[in-house]
Amino acid sequence: MGLFSGFVSIGSVTWICIDRYYRRYKPEKAGLNYCFYVIIVWGLSFLAASGPAMGFGTYESAQENTVKCLIDLDNTDGNTIKYFMVIGVLYFFYPIFKMVKYNTLAQATEVEKTVVIAAPATFVIGYLPYLSYAILKLTIGLPPVNEAFIAFVYILPKFISVLNPYMYMRSDPELLRAAKDVVNFNFYTKMD
């Protein structure tokens, strides 16, 4: 479930960037087949998260005082390394390419320029430490590392799921106004 939710989050933030582009430059495509894309994001995420169940690496098992919840990085067999390389390309490098490409094309106002930078930067800050740590541990091995550092590396990607909706709202003025109306709702005002 930890892998699956992470992959769905990555697929979603990538789709948000493509959606921003469509809304600005190809409004005829905005909203078309979105259900299909959600199914694709969730289906591919499930398939990617099922890799260890199909023999490509093994899942970590959490024990007392550990932060493990993803792929067992102590298992350095060829299948685990291949799995990580494929996942790195599909769920790190490809999304970064799409985010930069579509965000750059869609930028216009100062607010949008902030989001154009924030989405890929937040993604890189959230996932690059874990990806780097995992690849180094799987390929060349690492000496014992401070557990607080490992916890930080594992927890950092989880913030992307929290930031995705906020970044999307910041990129869409209409949605941002609606969200502000909900947050600033005055329960003491009489409803018409």
Total domains in the chain come to: 1
Q: Indicate whether 172 belongs to any domain.
A: no
Q: Which pLDDT does position 192 carry in this prediction?
A: 46
Q: Is pLDDT larger for residue 186 or for residue 161? A: 161
Q: Is it the case that residue 44 has pLDDT exceeding 60?
A: yes
CATH of the domain at 60: 1.20.1070.10
Q: Which pLDDT does position 61 carry in this prediction?
A: 66
Q: Indicate whether 158 belongs to any domain.
A: yes
Angle, CA 2 vertex, CA 130 and CA 47 arms, to 5°: 100
Q: Indicate whether 149 belongs to any domain.
A: yes
pLDDT tens per residue, range 77-97: 888 888 888 888 888 888 888
Q: Indicate whether 184 belongs to any domain.
A: no
Token pair belonging to 188: 């003491």
> Domain residues for 137?
2-167
Mean pLDDT, all residues of the chain = 76
Share of the chain above pLDDT 70, in %: 77
pLDDT tens per residue, range 136-153: 888 888 888 888 888 888
Q: Which residue has the tokens 């799921």?
A: 161
Q: Which pLDDT does position 34 carry in this prediction?
A: 79
Q: Indicate whether 180 belongs to any domain.
A: no
Token pair belonging to 156: 């950092």
